Each structure stands twice: as structure tokens, then as C-alpha cells.
Chains A and B, each alone.
Chain A
Amino acid sequence: MSIAFPLHRLYLLALPACLGVLGLTGCSKKEVEAVRDNTAEVEAFYKAHADFFTFAKPADLPANLEWKDGHEVPEFAAPEAKRGGTLQGFIDDFPRTFRFVGPDSNGSFRPYILDYDFLYLIMKQPNTGQYFPGVAKTWALGADGRTMYFRLDPDARYSDGVPITADDYLFIFFFYRSSYINDPWYNNYYTENFTNITKYDDRTISVTWKEAKPDIYDRPAELVPVPRHFYKELGPDYAQRYQWRLEPTTGPYTVLPEDIHKGSSIDITHVKHWWAEDKPFYRHRYNFDRIHLEVIRDQDKAMEAFKRGDIDMVPLTLSRSWYEKLPDSDPRVQAGYIHKAVYYNEIPRPPYGLYINASRPLLNNRDIREGINYASNFQLVIDQYFRGDYQRLETTADGYAEVPFPGIKARPFSVEKAQEAFTRAGFTKRGPDGVLVNDKGQRLSFTVTSAYSNLKDVLSILKEEALKAGLEFNIEVLDNTTGWKKIQEKQHDIAFTAFSYSVEMYPRYWETFHSVNANKPQTNNICNLVDPEVDELITRYDKSTSMDEIRTLSTQIETKIRYDAVFVPGFAIPFIRTGYWRWVKWPKDFSVRLWESGTEMQIEYGLAWLDEDAKKETLNARAAGKTFPPSIEVYDKWKRKD
């Protein structure tokens, strides 16, 4: 009879996935329109936007520019690094496309071919925050504070050998503003934030941003050259035409067509005679000749492959991986074959915590919000669930090296203080279930919405602890998209979530705490905070052009947000943990302050290298049962000092 749970219907779930795959291969095989040439179209676009695209002569360059070349900046790679060898790695899914923009382009393979494999105009020294040459050999900041001038390195070449010229930078603005890429975010971004690009000659350009901000030197990171010769065929069929064509790169690694084994593996190969290979800041980096990425969809399977020695390194940041899947007592670790390392980095932390919707009844009372702050026992979660490894988040913007908030602390868990606050709000009696009630008979009960099903244990611990203070949390864990939508539509009481921030010099507040974004759907002020004082501070903060002022103002903003008690700071993961076989070698300091990657750690900054002799030695030792001293290192140079 058909009352039994219809497991056979699971097939239905798998079906659309197959259809999707069929659809993709269908597209790539489809006869695409014969070779196009959009040169005329591009020229016309430049002419139509003559105020944006300026064609000038070298003589037009301002005379008093102070050109910099970053010669004073320290290098950070290990001089003893050896080139060569194939690193065995893994990837959790085969890329669905090689495009960087458009549908499906945001997969886990993208960092290998874009984020960690491209030279920007200038690059940031990941320990000191200074800048060193990228594609630009020298650079200068204009008198207006928002125009930067760049002289491109004459040696700079794409992986296909074509030199990188000023035209590739002009073309950025054609490419990202084009409707062909079908990506409104890029369209808008490259229209709104820039006011001009000027070509002085083939190797000299200037770019003007809309505003002069203190982090102007970080901005050239937005300018990855778009190879004009490669996109000659750019047109309405971009998504299909470029689906499996890899853009030539400015960086050290590329993918050769013969190394693509759809669905099973992909190899990344070092560019032959890479143009920056022997230049300062690039020598001794990107040491692997090849990186073989096997598709392993299951984390536990990848771990088993690693333990066998089929994979050379794995991330171990999660407590479960570090303590249970590969404990220090593992025979391979104890025998010194596999090394473990903890590296404390310093990057803007995703602010995990409770975002209280201040426009809800009861939650619009500051006393109640303050009580919720005191009643949320994140410290217990950190100490017991995360085994004391994670740190308490103290503000909405921890981890900005340039903008610390030493005096601002999150409220500690305290039943007494929480109850004092709830009493001020009129919640004095406890009901039969221990939840506080007020004179009107309202219970102190709120729903906590989250889209993180993997963190629901955190919520169930918070719930049990909050009950001690007479506060009830009802936990609502929704599917990722729905949960985030509900939160953005401001339909939640309290949201447990975090924002992901890229590495920037100072935090952003306008999006998350300015009242223009409150009580409106699809904005990031998910606390619905309306505080004229905060508004005023944020307005001044956004106009600010000096770091001192930015520090002062952001401290004031954080102090005020803490007073408003709309955000309960949760936890931050202050490190990256990794396990690697003995033959993978790392620099003396292991990595760099701004190290942020997970599985892509093999390519980000390219600091590690392979020691073939050590590999032979280790494998022989393993066969013979010989051991080495175990190595479990902690690198806490950048650890927060409490």
C-alpha cells in the first residue's frame, strides 16, 4: 500500500540535476555563430561616452606627480622555496563554467583562476598593508585624491603571450557595463563608482574614482584587465560562447585544455616563462609546477584520501576536523608524516551574532534588547561547543587592523543583569514555565530566525541558557535562500546570521545601520535601527577622508550601536587550521596576516612548496615503519591580545 514513505520518489530530486547537465553540454555543442568582431562596436561605445573614456598624450600627464614603485616594501616569500612538482589537491565540485561573470560563475573553482591568480595594477603586502607593483610598475596619486596614474610593466603579458596594454583597461568598462554579460550588479558597479579612465599611451593610464577615500590604494584591486583580444567575439551569446573558454590570465597559473576532465579532475599549470616570475615580490612564490585538483564531493572522503597520502594538504579549521577526524594522537601525526598547523590571521571577521529587529513590538524597547544581550550566552557556546577555539566577537566590525576598538566589549552573559533590564521593561513575574510575563500577560518570547542549518546546535544552546533569564527563544531554521529573504524583508524578530566582508581597510556602516535602509525590504539594515545620532555619525564617516577621523567616528558609531543594543555579538573564527604531509614546506612564519582561504590555500599567495626528497624519505620511512618528530605548530603572531 502506498502509505509508506515514498522513498522511490527521491529519484525525482535527482532528475532536474541530470537535465541541467544535459542542458549545459547541449549548449556547449550547439553551433555558435561564426567568428564575430566587435571592434567597431567598442570604438563607438568609447566615442559615445567621450567624457568617461579620454584619449590623451603622454605630455598631458600632470607634471608634479610623485611616482612610487614600492621598493621600500619588504618581500614576504621564503627565499629557500624550491620550484617544481605537482601538488595533489581536491575540489568539492567540478566548475560549471570557466567564465568569471554571468550564470554559475561564482563557484568554488573561481578563486583558482581569478581571485588568487590575477595580478591587479598594484598589490597589497599582506603583512604590512603597503603596496607593491602588480601589472603597474609605478603609480601615483593625483592632487585631487581620487585619480590614480599607472605605468604598466612593459614585460606584462597574458598567459597566451599577448602583452597587457592600456586598451585592456579601457575595455574593462565596456565589458562590465555591457548587457551581454547579463549581470546587473557588475553593470551598476562599474557605472556608479568611476568617473573617468584616460589612456596616455599604450602603457600609461589614469583612473578616476567618484570620491577621494583613504583606502584609494585598495581600489585598483577592482581593476583586473579584461583581455580585449580574447573578447573580440563578445556578443549577446556571451554565456554560451565563453562557457568553457578560459580567459588568459595575468597570473602564474592557467588551465591547459588537455587537463580538463569534466566531472572528475582538473589541473592547474604554471605559465611557462611567466613574466613576473623573477621579479621582486613574485620570486619564490607560486612554486608548484602543477596543482592537480581531484573532484571529491564529500569532505570525509577527502579526509580519508588525505590520510592515505593521495592529497597533500587539507583545511582543518572546523573543530570536528581538527579534534576528531585528524586528532593530534593520530598515528600519522605522531609519526611525523602529517604535520598540523594553526595560523592566526587578521582579517575582517564575519559578524556572527543576533540581529534584533528594533521595529518589532517589545523589541523596540531598548531595555528588552539590552536584556537579550545579557541573556545570550555566546561564551558558553564558544567554550563548550567550539571547544574554546573561537573568540567572542566584541563589536559589529572586529578584525580591521587599522580600526581597532580596544575599549568596546560585548555584554557578558549575566542572569542578574538581564533580569534587571527586563524588570525595567515591566517583565517582573515568571510564568509557570519560567518565562517572564508582564502586567498585560505578554510573554517574553521571540523567534530567532536563521538560515544556517549547520549552526542550529548553537541556537539550541542559546535557547536553554536564555530561559535561565526568563527569556524564550523559538528557533526557526529555514532554507538558505528563504531564511535570508525573510531577514532582508525584515520579517524576523531576531536573526542569527552574519555578513561576509571582503578585506577592506575600514568597516562599512551605511548599509547596515543607517536609517535610510531601515524598515525597507531588501536592504541590509536588518536591525531596523533608526537612530538620528548614528545616522549623523555615519554621514560624517562616509565623507571622511582621514584615517584618524575614521577611527574616531567609527568608535563613536560602535559605542552608540552598543548602547542601542540591537546587535548581540557572537563569535569569530580567528585562525586557519591546516594539515599537510611532511613534504609540503612552508615559510618560517608559515603564512601572512591577511591569509583567508579555505580549500584554496594551496594557491592563495603561493607561499608553500614541495620537497621531492622529503617525499621519498617520508614514503620510505612509512614503508619501513620509521618515524619523525611530530609537528603541531601554532603561529599566533597576529592573534588578538585580550
Chain B
Amino acid sequence: MAFPRFRLNPQTQRRFARFRRIRRGYVSFIILSFLALLTAFGELLVNSRALVVRYHGNYYFPTYGAFHPGTDFGEDYSYEANYRHLKQRLGAQGGGDWVLLPPVPFNSYENDFRQGVYPPTAPSAAERHFLGTDTTGRDILARLFYGFRIALIFSAFYIGFVYGLGITVGCAMGFFGGAVDLLGQRIVEIWSNLPFLYIVIIVASLVRPDLTLLVVITGLFSWTGMTYYMRTATYREKARDYVAAAEVLGASTSRIIFRHILPNTLSMLVTFVPFTLAAAISSLTALDFLGFGLPTPTPSWGELLRQGTANLDAPWIVSSVFFSIVFVLSLVTFVGEAVREAFDPKKFTTYE
């Protein structure tokens, strides 16, 4: 057959068309995608490294690749060039040399200490700290931005992990039924009663958690919910005539599952994705807030929120992160609602 394996059926195509017509959700989706795309090229927007340096007739593009020691540009130190400083120097010197900095000329780790001023400092366009600095003088916008990117990467892995495990187990229980189902369900019930937070706290206090470990821990305690839906969906599809027909034709188990059942449950899975994304972002933020998340000094929303609530006299910290969370989670929720409405089975499915 020439058809691609997972070609969407006309019903699903209609659902996507309907999604596009739900304006709020669709616009949210576009904004969210745009933000995700922005963070992918974040180094060009928020970075301490210059975009372009012209020095002694040569052009340098330091953004990606190896670092340039200060000596490359005639500075007297061997560590990474301070481009903000370099820009000032070259500007003062005149001549043909110049530096083009990104809009936010700070990375998310560097401490921008100034003589006589103690962090946190309030937002200042003149200093290019558009949202101010945190308690160690790091730029809040840079930390928000890269914190969001890390949250998105985390969510991507998390969704992959949770769905991979949840779908496999749920589908197996539904398809094979009987003892597998009975046993599987008991295991899922026991597993979902393990105290998630305890385990995370214990693990985080024993080892330094990194992104992979966090995905695995949070994922391990979140996949069980997916199994219930997959199990039911598989039971339902399995009883359909086309599955019986495929079986009669001699299709193998894997062929039935992958070619017939899974594609037909896809529409249900899609409706969950936005909500899982929201859950992933808030889980990571909550863990970071409690101090059990990503290792210091990784930029993260939870860590900013914690700083903000501990320093209410520096309201720019807590307000920037609060509004960011509200904004992003609202977008995700709008998308989720629109998807759910577009995929509502009552509108399109006919039962025999």
C-alpha cells in the first residue's frame, strides 16, 4: 500500500479544521508556538555574547561556537570577552570597530554587580535590565527566558516519557485483557498511591537532580493516569468490526495495535497533551520552588518565585515570574480547551 502509516483520517482532518476556527485557542496556539520558536534561537536575543564584532577589519560572530578570550579583542584578560565593556571601549575609541549586542545583553548566569548598588536592582531600560535583577545581580528577563526554555524542554521529554509508558501499559491491558488487565490494574493502583513528593524529596536530597533524573522521577509517578484512558479506548476499539476483520485476514498482533487501534485513539490522546504540558510546567516550577528541582544555578521559574516571595520588598521579581506563569499557563489552557472542543466525540463519532 502506498498510503503513509499514520495518515490522518478525514474525521481527524475535520477536527483540526474546527480547531482552527476556534479563534481564542488557535491564536493562543500561534503565540505559544512563536514563543517556543523564539527560545530556540534565544542565544541571538538574550545573551552576553555579541551578535557581531568588527575588530581590526575582521568580523566575529561569537554567539555560537567556542568562546573568545578578551585578548582576541585587545583586552588584557584571558577569560571570555565582556562584550558590553568592549562595546563601550570601541565606541569611545571611534574608528571602524564596533559591537552589535543582542537586545538583552546578559546571559542567565552572570552576576552584574555595580559599585555602590546592591542587588536586587529595580527594572531599568538604561541598564538594559528590563525586568531588574535578582538577589545576586542576575538579569531577571534572561532567567525567565531561559527558564521557560528549560521548562519547555522538560515538558517535551516528560510528555514523551509519560505517554510512552502510559500508552504501552494501558494498551497492553486493554488489548490482552484477562489476567494482564487484572494484574496491571492492581499494579497501577498501588503505584499511583506512592507518595510522589516524598520520593522526590528523598531522591533530591541524596543526589543532585538533573534534567534527565527529574523527567524520570516526575514521569514515573505521572504515567498511571494515562493507562485508564488507553485501556478503555483499546477495549472499545478492539470490539469494533474492523479489528475483527483484520484478525480474520490474519493480521499480526503488532499490526493490529499499531495500524488499527493506536491511530484510532490518537484523537483522544491529542486532547490531553496541552493539559499535560501545563502540568509539566507547574510540576517543575513547584519542585524548583520547594528547592528539589534543577541544580543551582540553573535558571528556573520556581527558583525565581521563591526568591520573589522571600523578597517582597523587591516586587519586580515576584511580579515578573507571576505574570509569566499566568500568561503561559493561560495560553496552554486556551489551546487545551479548543482542542477538546474540536475533538469532542459527540460531534463527529457515530456509534453502530
* Chain B nearest Cβ from A159, distance in angstroms: 42
B296 near A456 with CB under 8 A, answer yes
> How many chain B residues touch A (Cβ–Cβ < 8 Å)?
47
Bound-state CA distance A476–B210 (Å) is 11
Contacts of A385 in B (CB 8 A): 136
A63 within 8 A of B: no
B197→A384 contact, CB < 8 A:
no
With an 8 A cutoff between CB atoms, is B249 at the interface? no
| A432 contacts B67, C-beta separation under 8 Å | yes
Distance between A621 CB and nearest chain B CB, rounded to angstroms: 27
With an 8 A cutoff between CB atoms, is A464 at the interface?
yes
Q: Which residue of B lies closest to A476 (CB)?
A: B208
Q: Mark B139-175, 1 if CB is under 8 A from A, else 0.
A: 0000000000000000000000010000000000000
A3 near B78: Cβ-Cβ < 8 Å: no
| Pairwise interchain contact A432-B66, C-beta atoms closer than 8 A | yes
Q: Taking the complex as formed, is A9 at the interface, i.e. its CB lies under 8 A from any CB of chain B?
A: yes
A415 touches B78 (CB 8 A): yes
Chain B residues, CB < 8 A from A380 = 113
Within 8 Å by CB of A482, from B80, B206, B278, lies B206
Segment of A233-241, A257-265, A466-474 in the binding face = A466-474
Instruction: Decide if A457 is an interface residue (CB 8 Å cutoff).
Output: yes
A202 to B225, CA, bound (A): 76
CA distance A10 to B276 in the complex (A): 20
Bound form: Cα–Cα A505–B113 in Å: 39
CB of B225 within 8 A of CB of A2, answer: yes
Closest to B158 in A: A3
Q: Are B296 and A460 in contact (CB under 8 A)?
A: yes
B276: A residues at CB distance < 8 A? 3
Residues of A within 8 A of B275 (CB): 1, 3-4
Which residue of B79, B195, B224 contacts A470 across the interface (Cβ within 8 Å)?
Answer: B79
Measured CA separation A380–B197 after assembly (Å): 37
Residue in A433, A475, A481, A482 whose CB lies within 8 Å of B296: A475
The answer, yes or no, to whether B100 is at the interface (CB within 8 Å) is no
CA distance A453 to B330 in the complex (A): 32
Interface members, chain A 380-429 (any B CB < 8 Å): 380, 383-385, 387, 415, 419
Number of interface residues of A (CB under 8 A): 48
In the complex with contacts A387-B118, A475-B297, A461-B222 CB distance below 8 A: no
Q: Which residues of A contact B4 (CB under 8 A)?
A: none
Contact check, A460 vs B297: say whether CB atoms are below 8 A apart: yes
B residues less than 8 Å from A6 (CB atoms): 196-197, 221
- Is B295's beta carbon under 8 Å from chain A? yes
Within 8 A of B (CB), among A442-492: 447, 453, 456-457, 459-461, 463-464, 467-470, 474-479, 481-482
Contact residues in A for B66 (Cβ distance below 8 Å): 431-433
Q: B123 interface residue, CB < 8 Å from A? A: no
Check if A4 sits within 8 Å of B279, measured CB to CB: yes
In the bound complex, what is the Cα–Cα distance between A10 and B200 (angstroms)? 12
Chain A stretch 117-175: residues in CB contact (< 8 A) with chain B: none
The one of B79, B206, B279 that contacts A468, using a Cβ cutoff of 8 Å: B79
B135 lies within 8 A of A7 (CB): no
Q: Count of A-B contacts with CB under 8 A?
A: 116
Encode contact with A along B267-290: 1 for CB under 8 Å, 0 otherwise.
000001001101100110010000
Q: When the two chains form their complex, are residues A468 and B226 in contact, meaning their CB atoms are under 8 A apart?
A: no
Asked if B12 is an interface residue, CB under 8 A from chain A, the answer is no
Task: Kindly state whether residue A434 has any CB partner on chain B within 8 Å.
Answer: yes
**Complex contacts, B229 vs chain A, CB 8 Å:** 1
> Is residue A430 within 8 Å, beta carbon to beta carbon, of the partner chain?
yes
Assembled-state Cα–Cα distance A1/B225 (Å): 6
Other-chain residue from B67, B137, B224 in contact with A434 (beta carbon distance below 8 A): B67
Question: Quick one: which of B212-244 are within 8 Å of A by CB?
Answer: 221-222, 224-226, 229
Which residue from A12, A430, A453, A478 sits with its C-beta under 8 Å from B197? A12
CB-contact partner of B65 in A3, A432, A457, under 8 A: A432
CA–CA, A457 and B192, complex, Å: 36
Q: State whether A3 touches B225 (Cβ < 8 A).
A: yes
Q: Given known contacts A3-B222, A460-B296, A482-B205, is B195 in contact with A12 (CB within 8 Å)?
A: yes
Mask, A180-223, CB within 8 Å of B = 1, is 00000000000000000000000000000000000000000000
A13 at interface by CB-CB < 8 Å: yes
In the complex, the chain A residue whose C-beta lies closest to that of B119 is A384
Verify if B111 is at the interface (C-beta below 8 Å from A).
yes
Residues facing A in B311-333 (CB within 8 A) are 311, 313
In the complex, whether B75 has a CB less than 8 A from a CB of chain A is no
B198 on the A face (CB < 8 A): yes
Take A384-B113, A464-B111 as given contacts and tell me if A324 and B198 are in contact as well, using a CB distance cutoff of 8 Å.
no
- Chain A to chain B: the 6 pairs with minimum beta-carbon distance, closest first: A479-B205, A432-B66, A2-B225, A460-B297, A468-B79, A5-B283
Instruction: Taking A3-B279, A415-B79, A460-B111 as given, write out 18 further A-B residue pairs in contact, using a Cβ cutoff of 8 Å, ordered by the A residue number.
Output: A1-B225, A2-B224, A2-B225, A3-B225, A3-B276, A4-B283, A5-B283, A5-B286, A12-B198, A325-B313, A430-B78, A434-B79, A456-B297, A460-B109, A461-B111, A468-B79, A475-B295, A476-B208
Chain B residues with CB under 8 Å of chain A are 65-67, 69, 77-80, 109-111, 113, 118-119, 135-137, 162, 192, 195-198, 204-206, 208, 221-222, 224-226, 229, 272, 275-276, 278-279, 282-283, 286, 291, 295-297, 311, 313
A to B CB contacts below 8 Å, 13 in the list: A1-B272, A3-B225, A5-B286, A12-B195, A13-B197, A324-B313, A430-B69, A430-B78, A432-B67, A447-B208, A460-B296, A467-B79, A468-B77
Interface residues of chain A, those whose CB is within 8 Å of chain B, are 1-7, 9-10, 12-13, 320, 323-325, 380, 383-385, 387, 415, 419, 430-434, 447, 453, 456-457, 459-461, 463-464, 467-470, 474-479, 481-482
